[in-house]
Amino acid sequence: MNILIIEDEQKAAKELERILLEIDGKLSVVAILDSVEQGVSYLSKEPPVDLIFSDIQLADGMCFEIYNQVTISSPIIFCTAFDEYMMEAFDTNAVSYLLKPVTSEKGATALAQYHQMKTAFEPANAARTLGQISSQLTKVFKSTILVEYKEKIIPLRVKDIAYFYLDKTIVKITTRTNQRFFFASSLDEVERVLDPELFYRANRQFLINKQFVVSIERHFSRKLVTKLSVDTPEAIVVSKAKASEFLRWIEGLNN
């Protein structure tokens, strides 16, 4: 059985390859790709593989950008670090998943599920299933985040959060009413579970809500300085490299 791995972390890709070969020595990993660009190029030219292991977030975008551009007949096992809501979405479909970090047990289970559901992956069925999964993935972003305050657990509506701010190693939340909370997670993890149409990673420190942007100023070095309707601990500076992308996001043109 020929397998294609699409994963932007080389160490994780090699570990997945090792695990798969350990499970079944007859497997053959034909290629390891690390980006949307490579995925589109490879799948456009090469014959179909038996199975694809695909990370969701790649170095240059979401993996679904590949499958929106190239029609494939190969079944896909998605590799994901998303939470239980994402897993529930996958559980209702014929495509399986591997929850990172990958282990031999998880790999064996995923392969077993693939073999059991192999008949579901005829070309027409595979295309339909991928469309269903892609549609569901757009709907599983968190609408509420739980934070701890003293002895309480408080639900915060995501739309009421103005920004997340990384203060050294601590993530802080500020709401529309200037309430402030600590959040026990990394900013990268927060970014993964929020709707990218609503929240943007302006820089290393700030993940901001579009609804609270009131002005954008051009800096002499072609950077952008963004002002929100609530106070921020420092200026929100968008780099020159991200400036055009940021303005497209503000206009809703990133899709």
Please tell me the distance from the alpha carbon of residue 182 to that of residue 180, in angstroms, as a whole number.
Answer: 7
Same domain, residue pair 179 and 74:
no
Please tell me the distance from the alpha carbon of residue 66 to that of residue 68, in angstroms, as a whole number.
Answer: 5
Q: Domain boundary residue among 137, 159, 186?
A: 137
Q: What is the pLDDT of residue 86?
A: 52
pLDDT higher than threshold 90 for residue 213: yes
Q: Cβ contacts of residue 237 below 8 Å, gap of 6+?
A: 202, 203, 219, 223, 224, 225, 226
SS3 of 230, please? coil
Contact 129, 120 (CB under 8 A): yes
Peptide bond preceding 47: is omega within 30 degrees of 0, i.e. cis?
Answer: no
pLDDT higher than threshold 60 for residue 88: no
State how beta strands 51-55 and 76-80 pair.
Answer: parallel
Same domain, residue pair 81 and 111:
yes
Q: Tell me: the pLDDT tens digits for 97-122?
A: 777 788 888 888 888 878 777 755 55
Domain count along the chain: 2
- Distances, alpha carbon 237 to alpha carbons 17, 19, 206, in Å: 40, 43, 9
Same domain, residue pair 123 and 85:
yes
Q: What is the pLDDT of residue 94?
A: 39
Same domain, residue pair 38 and 90:
yes
Same domain, residue pair 11 and 115:
yes
Q: What is the pLDDT of residue 221?
A: 80
Please tell me the distance from the alpha carbon of residue 202 to that of residue 81, in angstroms, as a whole number.
Answer: 22
pLDDT higher than threshold 60 for residue 4: yes
Domain residue limits at 236: 147-251
Same domain, residue pair 13 and 133:
yes
pLDDT higher than threshold 90 for residue 200: yes
Q: Tell me: the pLDDT tens digits for 125-167?
A: 555 555 555 555 544 688 999 998 888 899 999 999 999 999 9
Same domain, residue pair 172 and 232:
yes
Q: What is the pLDDT of residue 124?
A: 52
Same domain, residue pair 203 and 165:
yes
Q: Tell me: the pLDDT tens digits for 40-87?
A: 999 999 999 999 998 888 888 888 888 888 888 888 888 877 554 354
Please tell me the distance from the alpha carbon of residue 206 to that of residue 5, in angstroms, as a whole number.
Answer: 32
Q: What is the pLDDT of residue 82?
A: 59
Of 142, 244, 239, 155, the residue nearest 198 (C-alpha): 142
pLDDT higher than threshold 50 for residue 90: no
Please tell me the distance from the alpha carbon of residue 221 to that of residue 95, in angstroms, as a whole number.
Answer: 47
Q: Domain boundary residue among 113, 137, 161?
A: 137
Q: Name the average pLDDT for the chain.
A: 84
Please tell me the distance from the alpha carbon of residue 183 to that of residue 167, in angstroms, as a whole number.
Answer: 11
Q: What is the pLDDT of residue 122?
A: 53
Helix ranges restricted to H, 28-183? 36-45, 64-69, 84-91, 104-116, 123-137
Give me the mean pLDDT over the 11-16 stretch: 93
* Segment among 29-38, 100-109, 218-227 with least mean pLDDT: 100-109
CATH number of residue 112's parent domain: 3.40.50.2300
Please tell me the distance from the alpha carbon of residue 43 to that of residue 65, in angstroms, as a whole number.
Answer: 12
DSSP H or E stretch at residue 249: helix 240-251
Q: Domain boundary residue among 137, 164, 186?
A: 137
pTM attached to this predicted model: 0.48
In a domain, 142, yes or no: no
Beta sheet of 199-201, edge-to-edge order:
180-183, 170-175, 161-167, 206-209, 199-201
Same domain, residue pair 161 and 120:
no
